[in-house]
Chain A
Amino acid sequence: MPFWNKELETLPRQKLEELQFSRLKKVLTRVYQKVPHYRKKFQDTGITPTKLKSLDDIKYFPFTTKEDLFVDYPYGLLTVSPEKVIRLHTSSGTTGKPKAIFFSKKDINNSAELIARCLVMTGATKGDILQNSMTYGLFTGAFVMHYGAEKVGILVIPAGPGNTERQINLMKDFGTTMLHITPSYALYVASVLYDKGIDPKKELKLKRAYLGAEPYSEETRRKIENMLGIDIYNCYGLTEMNGPGVGFECPYKDGLHIWEDNFLMEIINPETGEPLPDGEIGELVLTTLNREAMPLIRYRTRDLTRIISEPCRCGRTHRRISRILGRSDDMFIVKGVNIFPQQIEQVLMGIKGVAQNYQIVLESYDEMVVRVEIDRELFDGKIEKLIKLKEEIIEKIRSATLVKPKVELLEPGTLPVSEGKAKRVIDKRTI
C-alpha cells in the first residue's frame, strides 16, 4: 500500500486527535482575534476559545453557514491581510452571489499536498498521465487537482471539459492513464467512444478515473467502470473546503477517507443541529484545521452522510464517510415527499434498456416527469417491450420514492449533454 505521507496518514488515533486539538485551539483563537464576524458570533453564543478543553467541546461553538459567507462579503472572513491571498475561487453561484474562498500560498501548497495523498493512495505514481477534464477557472476542481498531481510528478494534461472529439484524441495521442472528470461527462465520453467503435480497453491506456463535483450512484460507477475497463475513485470536496481532496476513496472503495489532520468532521442532525454519533446519517459539518487565509469553523456542508469509524484495511487511521447520500440543496419536494435526484438515478441505472442520460422535470400541479433516454443497443423494434420498460421505470421509482412519476422515453441524444455539472432537475413550478 503506497503512501504519500505515511507518518501523517497512519498517525495513531490518539496522536491524530492531539494534533487536531492543538490545531483547533489555534484556529478558534485566530478567528476570534482577527475576524469580527466570528468574534461577534462567538460572543452572541457566549463562548470564547478558552472554553475548548477537548475536541468534543466544538459542539458549543456556533455553526458557519453559506449565509455567513455573504455577511462581510467578499473579504470579511480573512484572517490574513488581503495582500497575503494569492488566489480566489468561487462556488458556481448559480443562485445569486457566489461563495468566495481565498487561498494563501501556504493554502495552495497544502491543498496540493492533500491531493497528492489522495492520488498516491489510489496507486498513481510519477509517470502517470492525468487528463484533467474539469473546468479551469473560478471552480476549484481543476486547479487543486492540477497542483496536487504535479506534486506527485504526474504529467498533467489541462484539457478542461468539453470538445469530446479532442478529449479522445488527447487520450489516444498522449496515452492518458487517469481522468479527472464529472460522472455525467464520463458517461458521455464513454458513450461517444462506444459510438465511434473505439474499444477503450484495447486502444486507450486508461487505468483509473477520479469522479467528483456531482453526486452519482454506485450503479453509475459500475457502469462507467465496465464501459471503460478502469477503476473509478469517488472523490469528495467542496469549494468552501479547498475543493477536491477533502475525502477520497482508497483502493478498498469502502467509504472516503477524510484527512482529519486538516478537517475536523462532525455529523449533526440537520433539523436540530445536535451532534450525532459515528454511524448515524446526518449532515456533515467541517472545520478547517490547517488553513491560513480563510479558516471556516463548523461549516455546514448540507451534505448528508455518516462516519465510518471502523479501521480501514488500507492502514490509514483517518476515518471515512460513506458516499454522499444527498445534498440537502439538491433535494426537492414533490407531493410532500423529499426526493434526492440520486434516488432516481440509482433506480434508472439499475434498469436494462435505459441509457445514461436522464432529467427530472417538476411540472405545476406537483407532477414529477422523469425523462429517460433509451439504450439504442437494446432496442429491438418491439413496442410491448418499451411499454413494459416504461411501466418498470414508473413502478421502481414509485417504490423508491413513494411518488408515482410520469415517464417519457426519449431517443438517445435528445437530452442536453452536460460537460460540467449536469443539470438533472428542472423545476417549472411557480409556487
Chain B
Amino acid sequence: MDKVYIISVFAENKPGRLERITKVLAEANINILAFSITSTNGFGIIKFMVDRCKEAFQLLKEKGFTVSLNETIGIEMKDQPGGLYEVVKILSSKGINIESAAVYVAETRKKAYLIVEVEDTQKAMEALKGENLIFLKPIE
C-alpha cells in the first residue's frame, strides 16, 4: 500500500482562477486524473490528482500559486451499486474520518478509486492493512 499524492491550490472565488491553474498544467502536458473544488464564503481550495504530481507541484509553486502537496490513500471501488458504501463502511469501522475526497476513474466503466484525505495518512493506512481493499499505486 503506497501513499498517492494530491495537489491543493488556494484560490479566491474569482472568475478565471481555475483557468489560470489548468493552463499551467496543460502547457506542461500534465494530465489531470481527478479534481475537486471546495469553497466557502470568499475562497476555496482546488485539488488535483495528476500524472506527474511532484513536477506539477513545483511548477505551480514557481508560477506563484499558493499550493501544497498532500498525502492521500487511493482505494479501488467496485463500479456497481454499493461500491462506495463497501469502502466507506470499512473506513468508518476503523474510525477514519474523511477530510476531503475525490474520485479517480481509471478506466472508464471498469475501475474507480476513491481518493481520500484523512487526518493521519500513515495511521489510516495501518488500520486498513488486512482489509479486503485494492489500493491505487502512485503513478510516478
Contact = CB atoms under 8 A, between A and B. Distances in A.
A411 B16 CA distance: 14
Contacts of A386: 10, 40, 43, 45
Interface centre among A374, A383, A408, A414 (most CB of B within 10 A): A383
Nearest to A410: B12
Contacts of A384: 99
B95 interface: no
A383 B64 contact: no
Given A387-B40, A409-B42, A379 B10 contact: yes
A411 B68 contact: no
A411 B99 contact: no
A409 B66 CA distance: 12
Nearest to B61: A376
Interface string A351-383: 000000000000000000000001010011111
User: Is the interface on chain A under 10, 10 to 19, 20 to 34, or 35 or more residues?
Assistant: 10 to 19
A409 B69 CA distance: 20
User: Is the interface on chain B under 10, 10 to 19, 20 to 34, or 35 or more residues?
Assistant: 20 to 34
Contacts of A380: 8, 68, 70
B42 A374 contact: no
Contacts of A387: 40
B99 A382 contact: yes
B7 to A, nearest CB: 8
B38 A383 contact: yes
B54 to A, nearest CB: 15
A277 interface: no
A413 interface: yes
A374 B70 contact: no
B47 A409 contact: no
B12 A381 contact: no
A387 B67 CA distance: 17
A412 B6 CA distance: 21
A412 B70 contact: no
Contacts of B42: 408-409
Contacts of A412: 64, 66
B98 to A, nearest CB: 13
Contacts of A381: 6-8, 45, 47, 68-70, 117
A411 B12 contact: yes
B22 to A, nearest CB: 16
Given A381-B45, A383-B40, A387-B40, A414 B68 contact: no
Given A387-B40, A408-B12, 10 more contacts: A379-B10, A381-B47, A382-B8, A382-B99, A383-B100, A386-B45, A408-B42, A408-B43, A411-B11, A412-B64
Interface of A: 374, 376, 379-384, 386-387, 408-414
22 contacts: A376-B66, A379-B10, A380-B70, A381-B7, A381-B68, A381-B70, A382-B8, A382-B45, A383-B38, A383-B40, A383-B44, A383-B45, A386-B10, A386-B45, A409-B12, A409-B42, A410-B12, A411-B11, A411-B12, A411-B65, A411-B66, A412-B66
Top 5 A-B pairs ranked by shortest CB distance?
A: A381-B8, A381-B68, A381-B70, A376-B66, A379-B66
